[in-house]
Chains A and B, each alone.
Chain A
Amino acid sequence: MSQVEFVNITIDGTTVQVPAGEMVIESARRVGIEIPHFCYHPRLTMEAGANCRMCLVEVSMPRKNPDGTLALARMPKPQTSCSLPAAEGMVIETETPMIVEARKGMLEFLLINHPLDCPICDRGGECPLQNNTMHYGAATTRFVEEKRHPPKAYPLSKYVIFDRERCIHCARCTRFASDISGDAQLDFLKRGADMEVSSFRDTEFTSLYSGNVIEVCPVGALLSRPYRFTARPWDLSTQKSICTECSNGCNIKLDHRAGKLLRVNARLNEEVNEEWTCDQGKFGMDYASHEKRLRRPLIRDGAVFREVSWDEALTHVATALSEAGPAAAFLGGARSSNEDLFVLRRLFQEVLGSQNMDHRLGPAYPSAADVRAALGSQSPTPIAAYERMTTIIVFGCDLAVELPILYLRVRKAAVRRGAKVIECQPSSYRERPHANKVTDFAHSSIWYEPGQETAIAEALAHVMTGGRDPGASDGASDAAASLPNAVAEANVEFGSAIPRLDDGPIAIIIGRDVWSRSLSVPATLKAAADKMGTPCVINTYACSVNEQGARELGILPDGSVQASAPGLNADQILHGLKDGTVKALWVSGVDIASQFHDPELVTQSLEQAPFVVVTALDLNRTATMADVVLPLASVAEYDGTYTSMERRVQRFHQAFDAGVDVREEWRIAANVGMRLGVDMPYASWRDIFGAIATSERAFAECTPDNLGDGGRLLADRNNEDSR
């Protein structure tokens, strides 16, 4: 590891030790001085920055006199502190009369063409331009000419609207597009005072990360279409939450007002999402305040539903479940909280004596035992660890769609940290319409046709092991020439030969489409990884928000050590409903009628099922076929924890009351249990989480109070005994 070198610099009279090369604007923060700025953003590259000229400071450097003594020499021009690396002996002044004048001048320049329509601007109240003008600007303008008038409210995409009049040309959005998301769909057109941010001529801004430019914009130029004109920032309340759109566990803030969720912004977590969101997460929040939200429990009455009291509904459910007993089954749960799942599991295992539970909705998922046999008990690669990887292999995974924020981290590892990314993808991915593809930064892209996965995995395994075998020639770089027979037989067409793998840690991401159908790819790669002298993790990441929690808590037919025999999996449960061996079904939080791989089977099963209870936010297709429908609280309406795909347990907090009679699923399950004679006296998520920590080895070090704002990774599985 390289040693960090420190230098002494003096800022407004305070001498401080900072890492050499740190930008002076950051060093100033260390001594409590905030230098005003617009274009500077620590995550964006400096090359196109340093353009707003707001962060100018005066700089003096020590110079040697002819007699060898040191004297301070002030640079003739002020310097932008956002791009100035700290150097030994540097003396910075941030409040000289010249700097005060320069800031005033810069704000005057920025405002001469700015419409100053703050009263109707979404950004008003949380606007850096507004704030800096109040602090550092002049009270009046000397500009009597006509302002620029480009069109207002230009729609860039279905999410982002662009008010060109307000733009101050700081290049934050264009740098986000080129540096972070990498799609470079925003750039400048024209020059001088006519310069404007634009997508390419008449094209839509289709980046999967477009919403971030709204947050990085230091003025009200880039605006959220769903949020536009709905609230003033000072009327909003904010609550810490976790995004539920995928398993990444992105930290977000829910901005709400009067019981309505109005806006989702990123919440800083360096380990998870840094400060980014994907568009699914940022704009997919209409669930909470949707007009179709269920308000009361429903019981089927012939062809229609009847609104009933919770008491009536729960009595009905308890009766039906107790009649079914061990022939009851549970499907779903990948979107429920850890606490929901824990209580539901207790209800099925302890109260009903059933292990018929499955959170996976695909065809013929490998059993938990098979997964353990093939992959051992490795912990998945944590998100932030990708920056330390030498090689990242993406296998059959459209990463920006499946795990959008992991895509950004893998891209960062490749572009900024020099990781070598190799992708092996179905050739159909080349035709996908979105703009964020691993191919853009991959060292090698290998395209295959369906059915060739195993052959490709064998070729990869060959390179992984062959290149490291001391007896083998240095032939790994020429892998295509010496591929195993299976590859030659499969007639695999390589986009390029698989490159030689460098020494250093490797992370392999296998897409759900691949690992959910067959374990041959992960098993082949795992076997090769075990022969390597370098750490190599095979990741079969969970996809739904708490799918990893469901794995940890064993919402699986063979997920429990207590059960003597495995229960039925999803497919078997549905068939069991048809042939009468399964007598009651609880569907939790998912619309299996729409999402199961075989919707026809679902429809037939639900029609013939003796009893089906569905918990849901709205009357989805599955719910319409149920006997009882129970309205659930959304993530914004209760407290709890999720386990993200990297095994990070994180808190989400209640933002507001639903205003309708909805309940948490754990409360529903506990109530049913109580009616069946098993007391589950939980009053809050804290009680249940404490119980989880007591009974689940992985959660042993967790308490309700040690999760913090950034969550906590579960104990490394490599340090556990096998379960």
Chain B
Amino acid sequence: MAEKLVLFEHRHLPGVETAAVYETVGGYEGLRRALQMTPAGVIEEIKVSGLQGRGGAGFPTWIKWNGMLGNPPGDRYVVCNADEGEPGTFKDRELMLRFPHMIVEGMAIAGHATGSATGYIYIRGEFTEPADAIRRAVDEAYERGYLGEGIRTDGSRFDIHVHLGAGSYECGEETALMSSLMGERGQPRAKPPHAPLPVVAGLWRRPTLINNVETYACAPHILRRGGAWYASMGTERAKGTKIFSVSGHVARPGNYEIELGTPLLELLDMAGGVTGGALKAIIPGGSSVPILPAAKCTDVRLDYDGCRAAGTMLGSGGCMVFNETTDIVKLMWVTARFYAHESCGKCTPCREGTRWMAKIMDRIVQGKGRPEDPDLLVSVCNNIDGRSYCPLGDAAAWPIRASVLQYRDEYEHWVRHKTSPVGEHSVPKVA
């Protein structure tokens, strides 16, 4: 199987980031078609497509969109989550740089489908170039009438505001993103069953639709070519294509768009295969998901069910490949430090647990590990998992626990010999 290019079809077309070139390849046809349909008709098309949220959780997109329609009249918002911060993931960055109009168009379609007049795109603070690309696209879209009142004839309008985050991983969590967008601390807010969904009470307690960049980018294609066409790709329970960011020990790291259900090892081949030694492990969906040892990679299909069956998750599609020079303990040390640094501090298990794990890992790689440390790490992970306020705690616990369970021998080697089991040339290199 090869790549299946939908979003990336015109990836190499010069100038596709401009409205003029984007229009030559069908750009904004989806929006024009959507504006001729009722909101319910647009949502039906999304439903037929089977599109699932591309941010990591895979929630059926149409249910969210549909949930906006039941609300009483008043302000409602469309928010694009462009706070791409999951380590190993860089698909939204390329989408924003190369196809900013696809995202603007997708948000405008969502605006029409949900009766919203205002959109916000919340872009990771470090993404200054993608933000510039989006800003240029928004300006062009206003000039050409795709935003504002413009080509709409029913008196409605749709505006997009570009907002940059301030460097917090947590703000990629949708409720924390809303807090941040409203000017509050970037901390998560209550969700069902404790509080209504954002589509009922989100930004400023108004109905709010939040989707990932890639999800919005799918909408123009679905509206232009039909939900049934989109649903013809992928598997029975996971429709369409998905972009994977492949990085690590591969010959051609980069973003690859494939049909859902493609075997993991085929994705590896597309990226030119493993370099510098034999395959040791793959983290298929960003740093938050459990690590897969090489032996377990052979039968994995890249869709939601396939990954779950293999004991990991599809996540955001940040596929990190590691060869045999990789020291799993050091890899997890870096991971633990990341989550300790990014914990927002709101809830006890994540605030205290992530820092504790990072300190234990610090000690192990300094050669001060104790025989009971691997078990202690698992226990700390168990005490965080499922008990934190938002999924960040789970995301911090899963990779560490999986690594201890899969690579216990490497931890024990560090404890016993105070050196890396793969020798002094091991990676990652961390000062």
Given contacts A50-B389, A53-B388, A102-B383, contact A192 B353 (CB under 8 A): no
Please determine whether B352 and A110 come into contact, CB atoms closer than 8 angstroms.
yes
Given contacts A50-B389, A53-B389, A192-B341, contact A84 B360 (CB under 8 A): no
Q: B376 an interface residue at 8 Å Cβ cutoff? A: yes
Please determine whether A168 and B348 come into contact, CB atoms closer than 8 angstroms.
yes
Given contacts A53-B387, A145-B360, A191-B345, contact A83 B190 (CB under 8 A): yes
- Residue interface bits A44-82, CB-to-B below 8 A is 1, else 0: 001110111110100100000000000000011111100
What DSSP secondary structure best describes chain A's contact surface? loop
Size category of the A interface is 35 or more
Please determine whether A192 and B344 come into contact, CB atoms closer than 8 angstroms.
yes
Q: B32 an interface residue at 8 Å Cβ cutoff? A: no
Size category of the B interface is 35 or more
Q: A142 an interface residue at 8 Å Cβ cutoff? A: yes
CB-CB under 8 A from B351, the residues of chain A are 109, 169, 192-193, 195
CB-CB under 8 A from B342, the residues of chain A are 192
Q: A379 an interface residue at 8 Å Cβ cutoff? A: no
Expressed in whole angstroms, the minimum distance between the Cβ of A116 and any Cβ of chain B is 15
Pick the residue among A46, A78, A87, A192 that contacts B386 (CB under 8 A).
A78
Expressed in whole angstroms, the minimum distance between the Cβ of B271 and any Cβ of chain A is 34
Please determine whether A192 and B347 come into contact, CB atoms closer than 8 angstroms.
no
Please determine whether B387 and A193 come into contact, CB atoms closer than 8 angstroms.
no
CB-CB under 8 A from A145, the residues of chain B are 356, 359-360, 363
Please determine whether A46 and B346 come into contact, CB atoms closer than 8 angstroms.
no
- Residue interface bits B353-383, CB-to-A below 8 A is 1, else 0: 1111001100100000010000010010011
CB-CB under 8 A from A78, the residues of chain B are 386-387
Interface residues in A220-247 by Cβ distance below 8 A to B read: none
Pick the residue among A54, A187, A193 that contacts B352 (CB under 8 A).
A193
Q: A194 an interface residue at 8 Å Cβ cutoff? A: yes
Please determine whether B340 and A193 come into contact, CB atoms closer than 8 angstroms.
yes
Pick the residue among B194, B347, B360, B382 that contacts A51 (CB under 8 A).
B347
Q: A85 an interface residue at 8 Å Cβ cutoff? A: yes
Expressed in whole angstroms, the minimum distance between the Cβ of B23 and any Cβ of chain A is 43
Please determine whether B340 and A105 come into contact, CB atoms closer than 8 angstroms.
no
Expressed in whole angstroms, the minimum distance between the Cβ of A446 and any Cβ of chain B is 28
Please determine whether A192 and B356 come into contact, CB atoms closer than 8 angstroms.
no
Expressed in whole angstroms, the minimum distance between the Cβ of B318 and any Cβ of chain A is 22
Q: B114 an interface residue at 8 Å Cβ cutoff? A: no
Please determine whether A192 and B345 come into contact, CB atoms closer than 8 angstroms.
yes
Bound complex: CA A59 to CA B192 (Å): 13
Q: A112 an interface residue at 8 Å Cβ cutoff? A: yes
Q: B100 an interface residue at 8 Å Cβ cutoff? A: no
Bound complex: CA A83 to CA B187 (Å): 16
How many residue pairs link A and B with beta carbons under 8 A? The number is 111
Given contacts A51-B347, A53-B387, A106-B387, contact A46 B352 (CB under 8 A): no
Interface residues in A157-178 by Cβ distance below 8 A to B read: 168-169, 171
CB-CB under 8 A from A76, the residues of chain B are 386
CB-CB under 8 A from B388, the residues of chain A are 53
Bound complex: CA A144 to CA B348 (Å): 19
CB-CB under 8 A from B387, the residues of chain A are 53, 56, 77-78, 102, 105-106
Given contacts A48-B187, A51-B346, contact A192 B389 (CB under 8 A): no
Please determine whether B185 and A188 come into contact, CB atoms closer than 8 angstroms.
yes
Q: A143 an interface residue at 8 Å Cβ cutoff? A: yes
Q: A113 an interface residue at 8 Å Cβ cutoff? A: yes
Q: B349 an interface residue at 8 Å Cβ cutoff? A: yes
Residue of A109, A145, A169, A194 with highest tally of chain B CB at under 10 A: A109
Interface residues in A1-55 by Cβ distance below 8 A to B read: 46-48, 50-54
Q: B152 an interface residue at 8 Å Cβ cutoff? A: no
Q: A108 an interface residue at 8 Å Cβ cutoff? A: yes
Bound complex: CA A177 to CA B389 (Å): 22
Q: Which residue of A lies closest to B170 (CB)?
A: A191
Expressed in whole angstroms, the minimum distance between the Cβ of A1 and any Cβ of chain B is 23
CB-CB under 8 A from B49, the residues of chain A are none
Bound complex: CA A50 to CA B193 (Å): 13
- Residue interface bits A85-102, CB-to-B below 8 A is 1, else 0: 101000000000000011
Bound complex: CA A44 to CA B387 (Å): 22
Bound complex: CA A110 to CA B383 (Å): 12
Q: A416 an interface residue at 8 Å Cβ cutoff? A: no
Please determine whether B343 and A143 come into contact, CB atoms closer than 8 angstroms.
no
Please determine whether A192 and B354 come into contact, CB atoms closer than 8 angstroms.
yes
Q: Which residue of B lies closest to A77 (CB)?
A: B386
Bound complex: CA A60 to CA B383 (Å): 21
CB-CB under 8 A from A191, the residues of chain B are 168, 170, 186, 343-345
CB-CB under 8 A from A143, the residues of chain B are 356
CB-CB under 8 A from B383, the residues of chain A are 101-102, 105-106, 108-109
CB-CB under 8 A from A106, the residues of chain B are 348-349, 383, 387
Given contacts A85-B194, A105-B383, A192-B355, contact A52 B340 (CB under 8 A): no
CB-CB under 8 A from B382, the residues of chain A are 105
Expressed in whole angstroms, the minimum distance between the Cβ of B245 and any Cβ of chain A is 26
Q: B163 an interface residue at 8 Å Cβ cutoff? A: no
CB-CB under 8 A from B389, the residues of chain A are 50-51, 53
Q: B189 an interface residue at 8 Å Cβ cutoff? A: yes
Bound complex: CA A76 to CA B385 (Å): 11
CB-CB under 8 A from A77, the residues of chain B are 386-387
CB-CB under 8 A from A52, the residues of chain B are 347-348
Q: A723 an interface residue at 8 Å Cβ cutoff? A: no
Please determine whether B352 and A109 come into contact, CB atoms closer than 8 angstroms.
yes
Q: A190 an interface residue at 8 Å Cβ cutoff? A: yes
Q: Which residue of B lies closest to A75 (CB)?
A: B193
Please determine whether A188 and B345 come into contact, CB atoms closer than 8 angstroms.
yes
Expressed in whole angstroms, the minimum distance between the Cβ of A36 and any Cβ of chain B is 13
Bound complex: CA A52 to CA B359 (Å): 22
Expressed in whole angstroms, the minimum distance between the Cβ of A532 and any Cβ of chain B is 32
Please determine whether A47 and B359 come into contact, CB atoms closer than 8 angstroms.
no
Given contacts A113-B352, A142-B376, A145-B359, contact A192 B340 (CB under 8 A): yes
Bound complex: CA A695 to CA B379 (Å): 73
Bound complex: CA A171 to CA B351 (Å): 14
Interface residues in B159-196 by Cβ distance below 8 A to A read: 168, 170, 185-187, 189-190, 193-195
Q: Which residue of A lies closest to B370 (CB)?
A: A144
Expressed in whole angstroms, the minimum distance between the Cβ of B379 and any Cβ of chain A is 8
Bound complex: CA A191 to CA B353 (Å): 14
Bound complex: CA A51 to CA B194 (Å): 13
Bound complex: CA A113 to CA B359 (Å): 13
Please determine whether A51 and B348 come into contact, CB atoms closer than 8 angstroms.
yes
Bound complex: CA A56 to CA B370 (Å): 32
Please determine whether B348 and A47 come into contact, CB atoms closer than 8 angstroms.
no
Q: Which residue of A lies closest to B354 (CB)?
A: A192
CB-CB under 8 A from A113, the residues of chain B are 352
CB-CB under 8 A from B354, the residues of chain A are 192-193
Given contacts A85-B194, A109-B383, A145-B359, contact A194 B348 (CB under 8 A): no
CB-CB under 8 A from A75, the residues of chain B are 193
Q: Which residue of A lies closest to B375 (CB)?
A: A142
CB-CB under 8 A from A195, the residues of chain B are 344-345, 351
CB-CB under 8 A from A59, the residues of chain B are 193
In the A-B complex, the 5 residue pairs with the closest CB atoms: A105-B383, A195-B345, A193-B355, A109-B352, A192-B343
Chain A positions within 8 Å of B, measured between CB atoms, are 46-48, 50-54, 56, 59, 75-80, 83-85, 87, 101-102, 105-106, 108-110, 112-113, 142-145, 168-169, 171, 187-188, 190-195
Chain B positions within 8 Å of A, measured between CB atoms, are 168, 170, 185-187, 189-190, 193-195, 340-349, 351-356, 359-360, 363, 370, 376, 379, 382-383, 386-389
A-B CB contact pairs (8 Å), 18 listed: A48-B187, A50-B190, A51-B347, A52-B348, A76-B386, A78-B387, A79-B193, A79-B194, A80-B194, A102-B383, A105-B383, A105-B387, A106-B349, A109-B356, A113-B352, A144-B370, A191-B186, A192-B344
Extra contacts, 20 of them, besides A109-B353, A188-B345, A192-B340 (Cβ < 8 A), are A46-B194, A50-B194, A50-B389, A51-B348, A53-B349, A53-B389, A77-B387, A78-B386, A79-B194, A84-B194, A106-B348, A106-B387, A142-B376, A168-B348, A169-B346, A191-B168, A191-B186, A192-B342, A193-B340, A193-B355
